[in-house]
Amino acid sequence: MHNIRLDKCPKALFGSHFFHGTLTLPLSNFPKPISTTSPRPPPPPPHTLLLSIKSSLNKDPNNKLNNNNNNNNGSWVSPDWLTSLTRSLASGIGAEDNSGIPIANAKLDDVSDLLGGALFLPLFKWMNEYGPIYRLAAGPRDFVVVSAPAIAKHVLRSYGVKYGKGLVSEVSEFLFGSGFAIAEGSLWTARRRAVVPSLHKKYLSVIVDRVFCKCAERLVEKLKLDAEDGVAVNMEAKFSQLTLDVIGLSVFNYNFDSLTADSPVIEAVYTALKEAEARSTDLLPYWKAEKAVEVIRKTVEELISKCKEIVEAEGERINEEEYVNERDPSILRFLLASREEVSSTQLRDDLLSMLVAGHETTGSVLTWTIYLLSKVLLRRAQVPDVLPGNYKVNAGQDIMISVYNIHRSSQVWERADEFVPERFNLDDQYPMRRTLISGVLFLWLLLKVFIPFSGGPRKCVGDQFALLEAIVALAVFLQHMNFELVPDQNISMTTGATIHTTNVKFYPAHIHANLNAALHAYLSNNMKHFSLFSPNFGNRC
Ligand code: HEM
C-alpha cells in the first residue's frame, strides 16, 4: 500500500481548513485553469512494434534481436512486464505503430501501487514523464492513457458514435447485469431515459429535507457521543454508512440504518467494486465476489417486491411531470408508478446501479474535495479515430481517461497540487453566480477541465444529487462539530469507484455555532448551477 506523507496529502490540506471549524465550500475550490490546449505537440517520432519489442529484449545477452536501434520512447513492453510481452509477441510483431503516441516504460516498481489498488498514482507519474497521452501495457491489456482535457472531451462526447464503454462494461457485468450504468446502445438509451426523470428538481428538494438533513443529523448525534467519550473516529467509514442510509432512503425509501448496525451491503459493494477493478487490468487475482453480488441483488429484489405490492394495492399512476409521492418520494416508487413496461431483472439491475454508484461515490466526496477524488474513465474505440493532436487509435483500442491526472496536472491548473479554499470568496453572497456572470471565458475553460462526474452522454445521472448531499451534510456537521486529525497517522489511499482514504481518524468535538450565512445563500442558489460540474459537451442525453 502506498504511504502518503501527511504534509503532501491533499486531505491534510483539506483538513486544515475544514476540520477546524472555518467554513469552506470544497465544491467550489477547484484550481484556476491556465490552459486547455492540451495535447503535447509535437508528437514523438513513429516507431515500430518490432523495434520496441527488441528494445525490451535488450537486457537478455542471448537474445538474437539484440543489436537494434535506440527507441527514445522507451519500450513497447517494459522488461518487467512479461505478461504484456507475451501478448504483444502473440498479437503483432512487425505491425507499424504510426499512432504518434509515446510508450510508457512501466517498471514493476512503478506499479507496486497497483497492488494496493491505487492505479492513479503511477498513471500520474507517467504523465509527468511522457506527457498528456501515452500508451501503457498493463498486464495483458493495452491502454492509451489520456490526461489532456481536449482529448478527454473528444472521446467522452463521441460516446455512441466512435466510442463505447467497452472494457468497463465487460468487467462489471457480473455486478451490474443489464443495468443502465454499463448497458450500451439502444438498451442504454431506453433505460437512461426511463430513470433520469426520476431525479427531477422537485424530487431533489424533497429529498434534501427528508433525507439528506435527517441522515446527517443522525450522524451528528452519534458523533456527539464519540466526542463525549473522547473516541477517535474513522470518518471515511462513517460517511460510508451515512451515504448508504441516504441512498437507501432516496432510491428505495428503505432505511438501512447502517449508522446503528453494521450493514453487509457496504462491505459487499466494496468487494464487488474491487473485483471489477482487478478484472480491468487482469493484474490481480479476482476476489470471490459472488457472495457480495448475491447480497446486493437479494437486498434490491426484496426492496422492489415490497414496494411493488404497495403500489399495486394503491393503483398509483404518474400523471404529472414532476411527480412526488409525499409518503414515499423514492426513485423506486417513481419508476413503479410510471408503469413502465420493464422486466423485473432489468428494474433490479437499474436500481442496483443507482445503489452502488450512489452509495460508493458520495461518501468519498465528503472526505476529499471533489476534484481530488476522481479516478479513471474507460472507453473503447469502435472505429479508427484521430485524436486532437493527430494521435491515431485503431478500432478496439481501450482508452483510459485519467480524471485524476486532468485535475492535478500543472499543465492545466495553477498550483495544481494545492487545496485553496480562498479561490472563491465566501463573503460574496453568490460566489458561483458571480463567476457565471463575470467569467464566461473562465467557465468555458472550466467546462473542459473539471470532470469529476465525467462528461458527454454517459455523464453521471446523480451529480446534482451527490453535490447537494455533500453540501448539506457538510453544513450540518459544521454547524455542530469540529474535527481534529489524530496526529502521526500513516494516511494511505485506495480505490473503490473513486479514491478513498484508509482508516484515517479524527477526534470529533461538539460546538455550538450558527450556520454560516454564506452557506445559506450558496445552498439556496446553487441548484441551477450544478450542471456546471458534469458537462454534456453539447450532447443531448
Ligand atoms: C461524488 C459522487 C459521485 C461521483 C464522483 C460520480 C461519478 C460518476 C462518473 C464519473 C460517472 C460516469 C462514468 C463514465 O463516464 O464512464 C457516473 C455515472 C453514473 N452515476 Fe455517478 N457519481 C456520483 C454520485 C452518484 C449518485 C449519488 C448516483 C445516484 C443517485 C449516481 C449514479 C450514477 C449512474 C446511474 C451512472 C451511470 C450513468 C450512465 O451510464 O448512463 N452517481 N458517476
Quote the ligand 1 centre to 532 CA distance (angstroms). Answer: 15
Q: Does 308 contact ligand 1 (Cβ within 6 A)?
A: no
Contact 480, 445 (CB under 8 A): no
Q: Is 185 exposed, middle or buried (0-12, 13-18, 19+ CB in 10 A)?
A: exposed
And the C-alpha cell for 82?
512479461
Taking only the tens place, the pLDDT of each residue in 354-370 is 998 887 766 666 655 55
CA 141, distance to chain mean position in Å, is 21
pLDDT, mean of each 10-residue run, the chain (541 residues): 27 26 28 38 29 27 31 37 43 63 76 59 89 82 89 94 92 89 93 91 89 92 94 88 92 90 83 79 66 93 92 81 85 88 90 86 62 77 96 95 86 70 44 40 49 88 86 82 87 71 84 56 50 45 33
Name 500's bridge partners.
Answer: 494
Nearest atom within ligand 1 for CA of residue 454: 10
| Residue 460 is assigned to a ligand binding site | yes
Residue 192, C-alpha cell as written in the block: 437512461
Which pLDDT belongs to residue 473?
86
Q: Is the C-beta atom of 454 inside 6 A of ligand 1?
A: yes
Q: Which residues pair with 483 in a beta bridge?
A: 508
What DSSP string runs through 123-163?
HHHHHHHH-SEEEEEETTEEEEEE--HHHHHHHHHTBTTTE
Give the pLDDT confidence score for residue 112 in this predicted structure: 55
362 ligand 1 Cβ < 6 A = yes
Q: How far apart are CA 112 and CA 118, in angstroms?
A: 9
For ligand 1, whether the C-beta of 365 sits within 6 Å is yes
User: 452: CA distance to ligand 1 center in Å?
Assistant: 9
Q: What is the pLDDT of residue 289?
A: 84
pLDDT, one tens digit per residue, over 381-437 is 999 999 999 999 999 999 999 988 888 888 777 777 776 555 444 444 433 333 444
Q: What is the pLDDT of residue 67?
A: 29
pLDDT of residue 346: 93
pLDDT at 284: 57
Question: According to the model, what pLDDT value does residue 28 have?
Answer: 31
pLDDT at 496: 64
Quote the ligand 1 centre to 118 CA distance (angstroms). 20
Exposed (0-12), middle (13-18) or buried (19+): which is 420, by Cβ within 10 Å?
A: middle
Evaluate: CB of 450 within 6 angstroms of ligand 1: no
ipTM of the complex: 0.99
pTM tops 0.90: no
